[in-house]
Amino acid sequence: MLLLIGSLALLGWSFWRARRSGKLGILVWLQSASLFLPWLIFLSLAPFGLLPSPALLIGVLVISTGTYIWLGGKLREVAREQEKLLRERQRLEFDVLPTTDTSPVLGVELPPQMTELADPEASRIPESDLQTMRGFFGIDSFFVTETLPFRQGMLFRGNLRGEAALVYGDLNAKMQKAFAESYRVFLLADEESKPAVLVVPTERDPFEPPKVSWVATLGLLLLTVGSLILYSSAALEFDPFQNPEKLPLALPITAGLLFVLAVHEAGHRWQAQRYGVKLSAGYLLPLISPFPVAPLGFAIPPGTFGALTQFKTPPPTRKALFDIAIAGPALGGLISFAFLVSGFLLSVTTSKSGAFTVPADLLSTFNILIAGLIRLRWGVLPAAQLIELNPLALIGIFGLNITALSLLPAGQLDGGRIVQAIYGRRTARIVGNVTTAILAIAGFFVPTFLYWAAVLFFFARTQERPTLNELTETDNLRDILGLVALFLMAAILLPFRG
Cβ–Cβ under 8 Å, residues 87 and 161: yes
Q: Which stretches of the chain drop beneath a pLDDT of 50? A: 93-120, 290-298
pLDDT of res. 36? 64
Contacts of 55 (CB under 8 A, 6+ apart): none
pLDDT of res. 97? 43
The identity of residue 278, as a single letter, is: K
pLDDT of res. 379? 82
Crossing angle of the two packed helices 247-275 and 391-406, in degrees rounded to 10:
40
Contacts of 421 (CB under 8 A, 6+ apart): 318, 319, 321, 322, 325, 474, 478, 482
CB atoms within 10 A of CB 75: 19
DSSP-derived secondary structure letter, 178:
H
pLDDT tens digits, residue range 30-63? 766 776 666 666 666 655 555 566 666 667 767 7
Cβ–Cβ under 8 Å, residues 490 and 39: yes
Half-sphere exposure of 405 (CA within 13 A, CB side): 26
pLDDT of res. 270? 94
pTM of the model as a whole: 0.75
pLDDT of res. 2? 52
pLDDT of res. 295? 39
pLDDT of res. 8? 62
Burial 241-257 (b: 16+ CB within 10 A, else e): eeeeeeeeebeebbebb
Contacts of 422 (CB under 8 A, 6+ apart): 318, 322, 473, 474, 478, 479, 482
pLDDT tens digits, residue range 421-466? 888 887 788 778 777 877 777 777 666 777 777 777 776 667 788 8
Cα-based torsion angle of the residue sequence 184, 185, 186, 191 in order, rounded to the nearest 10 degrees: 100
Give the three-class secondary structure for 438: helix
Closest CA to 440 of 20, 3, 36: 3
